[in-house]
Amino acid sequence: MRDRIAVLLLLFLQVLCAAFLTGGTILTLLGINHRPISWEIRELLEVGAMLGLVFGAFLSVIVLTRILKRQKRAEDQLRQVSGAFMELMQTRFRDWGLTSAERDVALFAIKGLSTQEIASLRGTAEGTVKAQTNAIYRKSGVNGRPQLLSLFIEDLMDDEMLPAPAAQVDPDQPDAALRVAG
């Protein structure tokens, strides 16, 4: 949120400075008469506007660098989570005793592919894929794809990641907040 506000302020500063530097020319091109200001004041304002543009560009580079670092960190975390998910799936598949073909079918099913799509990708009949998915469900102890996927989601969700339940405070009792806090 802070970066978003900083970017908006920088953009506003740069637009304001650019408008000042080009304003006189634009007014002249449009044929709008404007009252000229003294050259000393104009020079000071132009120097200020140029410094504002340079300062804005410098700060934009800093903000952009921060955003790119944050994006890289998020991509690295996503890569780690993806690797952990694949490792978890392979462990579960091994524990369930899935065959190589069943592992492939389970992976495609978890990815959300239809039976027809899985059969097409594997070069097998839909009946074969249905038999393999039934074997996967039986070995894993679930009834279908949603339950299969939920097994992995539950394993990835750590209790420490879940927010603590908020204490319920009765607004009609003034000392209720003290009892909850104490």
Tens digit of each residue's pLDDT, the chain (182 residues): 777 787 788 788 788 888 877 887 787 788 887 777 788 888 888 888 888 888 888 888 888 898 899 999 999 888 888 887 888 888 899 999 999 999 999 999 988 999 999 999 999 999 999 999 999 999 999 999 999 988 888 877 764 444 455 555 455 555 544 444 44
Name the residue type at position 100.
S
What are the phi and psi torsion angles at 99 (to 5°)? -75, 170
Map out the domains of the chain as residue ranges: 2-78, 97-157
Instruction: Output the CA torsion sign for 22, 25, 26, 32.
Output: positive
Third-level CATH fold of 97-157: Arc Repressor Mutant, subunit A (1.10.10)
Of 102, 97, 139, 95, nearest to 118 by C-alpha is 102
- Residue 63 contacts by C-beta under 8 Å, 6 or more apart in sequence? 3, 6, 7, 10
